[in-house]
Structure 1
Amino acid sequence: MKKLIISILAIIVIVLSTSLFQVSEIQNAVVIRLGKPKRVVTEPGLYVKVPFMDDVRYFDKRLLNYDAAPKGIIIKGKKSIVIDNYARWRISEPLLFLQSVQNIAGAQARLDDIVYSELRREMGKYTLTEIISSKRDFIMENVTKESREKAKSSGIDVIDVRIKRVELPQENEKNIFKRMDAERNQQAKKYRAEGREKSLEITSQADREKTIILAEAYRKSEELKGEGDAKALEIYANAYNRDPEFYKFMKTLETYEKIMGEKTKIILSTDSELWKML
């Protein structure tokens, strides 16, 4: 009797353990009965299922990352670039997700096709400069929008698509570097030529101003000098007119100073004015 009770209790425990399942806050669940979807559980809690007939598949509610391998793309002008992109997404409809891609690996493959196709289509309209600068945000908004629309049919909600980096193929890097170097050198030569031209213009202007300033200063100095000489002559004249004999004496001394040195010999007659003064 005890064995029977124990067996019954064991069966009850097994049945209860296989008839209950738990869904956490970060999960959705799909109950499958005999291979066919029965119901979708989106709220956390403890639920009942039919033992041995129902199977439960769990799907993450959180944001998931899709990180693609770098791939080549042809852009405007038939130039090749290599892009490394990623996307953030979530499972929006668990049942549709299960029926279309089944699991995360299938979703990653589906996203790879969708995102890469949209990147090729959108980036093919622009040049490399536009892709990495002015049009980058606009391009990614369009890629995200179109990828979201196409992924809806698989129960996937694409939140955001972004580019981590853009690279040039190895064979193009050297050619582009040489062209960029030549363009920068040409621009530098232009700036140097403009600088020399501006320098000559400034130097010429400074020389002209210098000549004008010096000429004006010389003219002014000559005027002042003339005025000084005239004033000196006037003072001398006034002074000498007061005593003509003294004036004659001073002028004779000045003459002596000019014509006589340490070794000068002068022969004078006794009636000479110079002799009289001596």
Structure 2
Amino acid sequence: MNRIVALVIVVVAVLFAGSSTLLVVDQRHQAVVYSRGGVDPVAVGPGLHFKLPTPLQGAMRVDARVQTLEASNPDRYTTSDKADLLVTPVLKYRVVDPLKLFTQTEGDAQSVPGRLAEFTRAALGEAFGKRSLSDALAQQHDIASEARSAIAARTGALGVEVVDVSLTRIDLPAAAAEAAYKRMVVAQEQAASDERAQGAAEAEQIKADAERQRDAVLADAYKTAQQIKGEGDAKAAAIAADAFGRDPGFYQFYQSLQAYRSVIKPSDVVVVDADNDFFRFMRSPDGGAPSNGQAAAASRKH
């Protein structure tokens, strides 16, 4: 009986020792084989590998796939204008150098998410801290890009590659949300008022320029019209002078008729001396002295 028990113990020990010398790594992982105390680490890829039994050599498996790190609760960040924001970042990463990871973590791969979360908080804190509230809300993509670069600069020593950084939530704390929204409304109203004032000033300037151009066009047109009128009057006067100069008697007769028309109206009663020189063409067609009969008739008519 004792021999059977001893044999079972020996078989179990052999199987355990044999299994501890085999290392199976699937295609989704990599592994680091190291001696006691973490010395002489060696990275191995997918496949079947042999190593010394567990007391002499150990192995750390590392997931080589893209992994996602998302905070369970949003983190609080402060902007340059002292506004608080609740932000939920999502970090995607993968291990590209298992040896660096093993060395930096001393074989504790479970500490990687905590370190990455710390790096993420530091990078986002710096990115939000140099922006105002309005800029932080408007530049989420830029903030994520800056954070990714800052995180990647620190994870390189861990053998970790940062694939992407995104912000799934950016919100204000409930207590500060209403006040912040009111400030944003006031700022937008002020900006709109400034735009309207600037537009009104530009409209007045355009109107004043148009009025000056209109006055200049009217003045130029009036000047041209006066010149044409003057030239027309001069030509008319020249034509009249030429026509009347050929017969001075007819000119005097015509001018007297024009004077009679402008001075004497149909309902007027004119009492003058019949010998008045103004009415000489009424006394005689040629404006000369009338005969005795004509003078008597003219006297009776007037």
Q: Normalised by the size of structure 2, how large is the TM-score?
A: 0.60
Tell me the secondary structure at the aligned position of residue 127 of structure 1: coil
Q: Which runs of 5+ in 2 are unaligned?
A: 1-10, 286-302
Corresponding residue of 1:4? none
Question: 229, 236, 239: which one pairs with 1:235?
Answer: 239
1:27 pairs, out of 29, 49, 52, with 29
Aligned to 2:119: 115
- Deviates most, 63-72 or 194-203: 194-203
Name the aligned partner's letter for residue 201 of structure 2. Answer: E
Instruction: Spell out the pairing of 1:194-233 with structure 2 (5 A cutoff).
Output: 194-233=198-237
CA distance in 2, matches of 1:196, 1:224: 42
Task: Identify the match of residue 173 of structure 1 among 167, 177, 192.
Answer: 177
Work out whether residues 94 and 163 of structure 2, in 8 Å CA contact, stay in contact via their aligned partners in 1: no
Pairs within 5 Å for 1:36-55: 42-47=44-49
2:67 aligned residue (60, 64, 67): 64
Written as runs of structure 1 = structure 2, the 5 A alignment for 1:96-135 is: 96=102, 99-101=107-109, 107-109=112-114, 111-112=116-117, 114-119=118-123, 122-123=126-127, 125-128=129-132, 131=136, 133=139
Q: Helix, strand or coil: the match of 1:81? A: strand
Cα distance in 2 for residues equivalent to 1:43 and 1:88:
22
Q: Give 1:159 deviation, angstroms.
A: 2.1
Per-residue deviation, 1:223: 3.4
How many pairs does the alignment contain? 252
Q: Report if the CA contact (8 A) 1:118-1:146 is conserved.
A: no
- How far apart are residue 37 of structure 1 and its match? 11
Residues 48 and 224 of structure 1, relative CA distance in 2, 3 Å threshold:
closer
Secondary structure of residue in 2 paired with 1:162: strand
* Distance across 1 between alignment mates of 2:76 and 2:269: 112
- 2:86–2:171 CA contact under 8 A, matched in 1: yes
Instruction: Verify the 8 A CA contact 1:252 1:274 in the aligned structure 2.
Output: no
State the 1:176 CA deviation.
1.8
Pick aligned residue for 2:88 from 84, 88, 95: 84
**SS at structure 2 position matched to 1:25:** coil
SS class of match (2:245)? helix
**Structure 2 counterpart of 1:5:** none
Over alpha carbons, which structure has the higher Rg?
Answer: 2
Structure 1, unaligned stretches of length 5 or more? 1-10
Q: Deviations over 1:81-139 (max 9, x none)?
A: 1122122223432793794145xxx6445543x23542465347423456564973344
What secondary structure does 2:154 align onto? helix
TM-score calculated relative to the size of structure 1: 0.64
The verdict on how the C-alpha distance between 1:128 and 1:161 changes in structure 2, with shifts beyond 3 A counting, is farther
